[in-house]
Structure 1
């Protein structure tokens, strides 16, 4: 799935500038084919991702905390999987001295770096990697992306990897098709949305840009853009820029244990909200009917699956 962008929102003035267009490194760049191959490898993660984690015995009230409790572990395992996919992004072993590694607390948090200090360049590209527990309450990624466009190298990417447990409330992490966008374009789109396309009242929509322009900055560099007025603390919530809307809609049609992710997300939200028995039963039936499985017996089977997991959660 390629990232798709929402158009202008509502009745915008004719002077509203167009949103930033998709970007990529110059095709004359000597590592351009490597960059393309890395993107291909990222899209193969759902079939190649490996995890040694096995989760069981989770309380219903703890399910929505997975993103914070396991997010960093999942991201580390994504990096390991990318290195194991070298045959995809480096089939001729031209970059045998390079590997993906994490560099915490700075941007981007993953870089393709040379293992020997005398190899130039030391870093070929970077990935700002965000794991996303797809069954979280919000129904969208909650990460903040405040980096200023100027520090993003042309080959840098923002990658969001959605995941869930293979048996919904237990099992090993399973990843789904990632969201991939050029890092600079994402930063520009965030600023464009804040200044020109978001709804609401008020005229103070300015963004103060960071003065840092160095690619692969130091930890101490102040590389974040800031909204000049942000009472709701929403600036940087990239998913709220509408840039991921089409991707998220398509993602939630993917299935986990034979049931669309959207149905699981609504089910878990319904069950953990402390509803009455009658309202939960009505919600389960509604979810089964919304799953677009035509034969009545299959809808009943689907409702039974929801109830089965509901009983497991009730017993925790």
Structure 2
């Protein structure tokens, strides 16, 4: 059975890590972005994470540094700051200019709430040996302030011990079916240098699914379900996704309208999607 690693109580990084977790939870309320989207076609929404994901992750790191009072209230780590390295693992590191080993690493991911799959699609393939017990895996859901337009808005993040998540992923892969093959771990260490091998290797992954930890039962399920209930303009994100999917599929207006009516009947059983909004969207479909 996979269990989380204990954090040494006598190590300064443990209290620092606890402060970083508090700061990460506070990031959504402090987050600001210069990005403003206008005139986007509804059918282009699904590509938003590809278009803006990196910029939003950069801005998330800037917000984390701006909340230093939360993770370093006594100024103990005044010469340290979080930096993002998109081509390294982990991609966010708390480090100083003297080149000392990072204190904490964060593998930071963004999840666009209106993505077609209704779950994070990133791959987390790093070996457990490539991280310390203090390192974190963090996923920030985001959307636009006006659903189809506006500025990025962050929702409460998923935060997990990265080393534990890597172990759980390996256990899942090696036991997913009777013919599953073992995962091979490369010789690596925490904070590997760029260009070195740090990802686990599998030999039975024709579909490229190794590392899709959002599919591992018991890791992110509850958080994803709660997050997909996030209201965007009064409607749960999951219903927005299903509505937009109607227009992403091939079919004439009559076929789309029939599918929408079925969706409307389904959501009428759910008070989150109020009937006035359904009627408004139906009118828009006639334009």
TM norm. shorter chain > 0.5:
yes
Q: Secondary structure at the match of 1:194?
A: helix
Q: Distance in 1 between matches of 2:266 and 2:30?
A: 31
Unaligned segments of structure 1, at least 5 residues = 1-17
Q: 1:126 to 1:290 in 2, by over 3 A?
A: farther
Where does residue 248 of structure 1 map in the other structure? 224
Aligned twin of 1:216: 191
Aligned partners of 1:272 and 1:279: how far apart in 2?
A: 15
Partner Cα separation in structure 2 for residue 267 and residue 287 of structure 1: 12
The structure 2 residue matched to 1:86, chosen from 64, 68, 83, is 68
Please give the alpha-carbon distance, in whole angstroms, between the structure 1 residues aligned to 2:262 and 2:87: 42
1:186 aligned residue: 165
The residue that corresponds to 1:42 in the other structure is 24
Determine helix, strand or coil for the equivalent of 1:123.
coil
Q: 1:228 aligned to 2:203?
A: yes
Q: How many residues are aligned here?
A: 283
Does 1:108 find its partner at 2:90?
yes
Residue-by-residue CA offset, 1:23-59 (whole Å, 9 max, x unaligned):
3531211232111010011111221211111101112
- Over the aligned positions, Cα root-mean-square deviation in angstroms equals 2.0
Larger RCO, structure (CA 8 Å, separation 6 or more): 1
Change (3 A) 1:253 1:260: same
Displaced runs of 4 or more, over 2 A? 22-25, 274-278, 290-293, 304-308
Q: Does structure 1 conserve the Cα–Cα contact (< 8 Å) formed by 2:13 and 2:134? A: no
CA positional deviation for 1:305: 4.5
Deviation sequence 1:66-115 (CA, Å, 0-9, x none): 11111101100100110111111112222111111112211000001113
Select which of 242, 262, 271 maps to 2:238. 262
Among 247, 271, 281, the residue aligned to 1:292: 271
1:59 corresponds to which residue?
A: 41
How far is 1:253 from its partner? Answer: 1.7
The within-5 A match list for 1:157-172 is 157-172=136-151
Shift of 1:289: 1.1
Q: Which residue number in structure 2 is paired with residue 140 of structure 1?
A: 119
* Shift in Å, 1:257: 1.5
| Pairwise CA distance, 1:277 | 4.4
Q: Which runs of 5+ in 2 are unaligned?
A: none
After superposition, give the CA deviation of every residue in 1:230-259 in whole Å (9 maximum; x if it has no partner). Answer: 122211111122221111111112212221
